[in-house]
Structure 1
Amino acid sequence: MKVAGKVIVVTGAGGGIGREIVLSLLSKGASVAAVDINEAALEETVHQAGGKGRVLSTHIVNLVHRESVEALPEKIIASHGTVDGIINNAGIIQPFVGIKDIDYDKIKLVMDINFYGTLYMTKTFLPYLLERPVGHITNISSMGGFLPVPGQSIYGASKAAVKLMTEGLHSELQGTNVKVTVVFPGGVGTDIMKNSGVGGTTTADTNGQDMSQLLTPKAAAAIIVKGIETDQYRVLAGKDSKIMDKLYRLNPKRAAGLITKKMTELLKGKL
């Protein structure tokens, strides 16, 4: 789906990849409904976009609350007249601890935001998208959604759920006007760790890489928007995601071992 002239909803629009997606879409002539739980972060996105106008609206929504998500389409339509696509980018990570040590409240929060938030958005907006001449749903999974990362098993499980749900949705919507894309970012230099309230300076999306080697949020956003415009089924954002995708298909145990070694070194402070 070409984004020029389309109205697209972006969650997690207050920073990182989400903010850069907003800016990329606007630069290509799309109108954007920017969604985030953080009002100040959304205001900064508006500032970087050059001010709030007809083509950019902001919506403060907690994606955990299904009723709030279900009220969103009509608010966006009131601002923009319609909606043509959604990009479910919002997500959080977990503390870097094993399943034995993570508490159930944190497990529930990670699953609620990463999986259920994506599900609520998808299910809520799908009827509206089916009424459009063309529509698009893009869900952001993670390299951690197909490759296990020690200390991020619940995060990975939530992103694996997003992966399979999105792939299933793609199959269900064959023959309709709505296209579906699932995205697997590798290491991206974002503030997901800080914004998730788990402390530290290295994001889950880094998977143990040196920050200088990471894909920038702007570069990741460009890859994602290109994937939307070319109706790609799967988008692997970053060389690491592409390499590990191939390796995991060939030898899952070896791929998991490499990530385990890298994360062990990272957490011991050797990187």
Structure 2
Amino acid sequence: MKVNGKVIVVTGAGSGMGRALSLQLIKEGARVAGIDINEEGLRETRDLTGKASAAMSTHVVDITDRERVEALPAELIALHGAVDGIINNAGIIQPFVPIKDLAYDRIERIFNINLYGTLYMVKSFLPALLERPEAHIVNISSMGGFIPFPGQSFYGASKAAVKLLTEGLYAELKDSNVKVTVVHPGAVNTNITKNSNVEMRSDVSAEEQASMTLSAEKAAEIILNGMKADKYRVMVGKDARFLDLFYRFSPKRAVDFITKKMAQMAKAS
């Protein structure tokens, strides 16, 4: 789906990939309804649009609040005239701890934001999207959604659920006007750890960290190119592409490889 002239809803628009996606969409002629729980972050994103600020509306919404999300389509259609697409980008990671050590309240928060937030957005906006001449749903999973990372098992499980939800949605909507894309980003330089209230211990400097990860802007470019090409599946970054191939070729060896790498990183931190 071409984005020029379209109205696209972006969750997590207050920072990171959501901010980069919003800015690039506006640059390409779309209007954006930015959704985030962080009002200040949304304001900063809108300020960065400069003279194009009229192309972005901002909405402080907790996507785990189903009733609030269900009210969004009518609100945004009244404001913009239509909604042509949604990009479910908002998400959090978990503290790097084993399954046995993570408290249930943290587990529930991970699933409520990553899975149920995405589910509420899809269920709420789908009827309106089906009425458009063409529309698109983009759900952001993770490379952790197809291969496990020790210490991120609940995060991975939530993103694996997003993967299967999106693939099922694609199958159901295959002959409709609504295109569906699942995205698996690798390591992207965002502030997801801060937004997730997760502390990271590492001897790696900010400069080194940036060199080891994909910029949010480049990730957003890859995602939007996939959306515009109506791709079924988008891998973001060399690490995601490599692990996807490795895992499909030999799942056990791929998991052993990741486990060894994670242990080395933990030892060095």
What TM-score range do you get, normalising by the shorter chain? over 0.9
In structure 1, the residue matched to 2:243 is 244
Pairwise CA distance, 1:5: 0.2
What is the letter of the counterpart of residue 26 of structure 2?
Answer: L
Q: Which residue of 2 aligns with 1:188?
A: 188
More displaced 10-residue stretch of structure 1: 261-270 or 130-139 = 261-270
Tell me how far 1:87 sits from its aligned partner. 0.1
2:267 corresponds to which residue? 268
The CA deviation at 1:174 is 1.3
- 1:206 maps to none
Cα-to-partner distance string for 1:154-207 (whole Å, 9 max, x where unaligned):
0000000000000000000011000000000001111100111112267xxxxx
Residues 5 and 31, structure 1, Cα contact 8 Å, conserved in 2: yes
Matches within 5 A, 1:77-226: 77-200=77-200, 210-226=209-225
CA deviation profile, 1:13-60 (whole Å, cap 9, x unmatched): 010011000011001000000000000000110111116743110000
What is the SS of the residue equivalent to 1:71? helix
Identity across the alignment (%): 59
Task: Give the number of aligned pairs.
Answer: 264
**2 CA distance for matches of 1:18 and 1:201?**
25
| SS in structure 2 at match of 1:100 | helix
How far 1:78 sits from its partner (Å)? 2.0
Counterpart Cα distance in 1 of 2:19 and 2:180: 21
Say if 1:170 and 1:179, in contact at 8 Å, map to a contact too: yes
2-structure distance, mates of 1:201, 1:165: 33
1:211/1:53 CA distance change after superposition, 3 Å? closer
Q: CA RMSD in A?
A: 1.3
Give the Cα–Cα distance (whole angstroms) in 1 for the partners of residues 39 and 201 of structure 2: 23
- How many Å apart are 1:269 and its aligned residue? 2.4
Match in the other structure for 1:42: 42
State the distance in 2 between where 1:176 and 1:261 align.
44
- How far apart, CA to CA, are the structure 2 residues paired with 1:9 and 1:120? 13
d(CA) in 1 for partners of 2:11 and 2:209? 27
Greater than 4 Å deviation, 4+ residue runs: none
TM-score by length of 1: 0.95
Q: Which amino acid is the alignment partner of residue 239 of structure 1? A: K
1:228: which partner in 2? 227
Contact 2:89–2:139 (Cα < 8 Å) also in 1: yes
Instruction: Tell me what 1:11 maps to.
Output: 11
Residue 96 of structure 2 aligns to a residue whose secondary structure is coil
C-alpha contact 1:194 1:200 (8 A) present in aligned 2: no
Alignment check: 8 A CA contact 2:47 2:53 kept = no
Q: Is residue 2:62 matched to residue 1:27?
A: no
Q: Show CA shifts across 1:60-84 (max 9, x none).
A: 0001110010011112112211100
Q: Normalized against structure 2, the TM-score is what?
A: 0.95
Inter-partner Cα distance in structure 2 for 1:8 and 1:269 = 42
Q: Which amino acid aligns with 1:245?
A: D
Equivalent residues of 1:17, 1:221 under 8 A apart: yes
Structure with greater proportional helix content: 2
Secondary structure of the residue aligned to 1:22 is helix
Q: Which runs of 5+ in 1 are unaligned?
A: 203-208
* CA distance in structure 1 between the aligned counterparts of 2:201 and 2:29, rounded to whole angstroms: 35
Q: Which runs of 5+ in 2 are unaligned?
A: 203-207
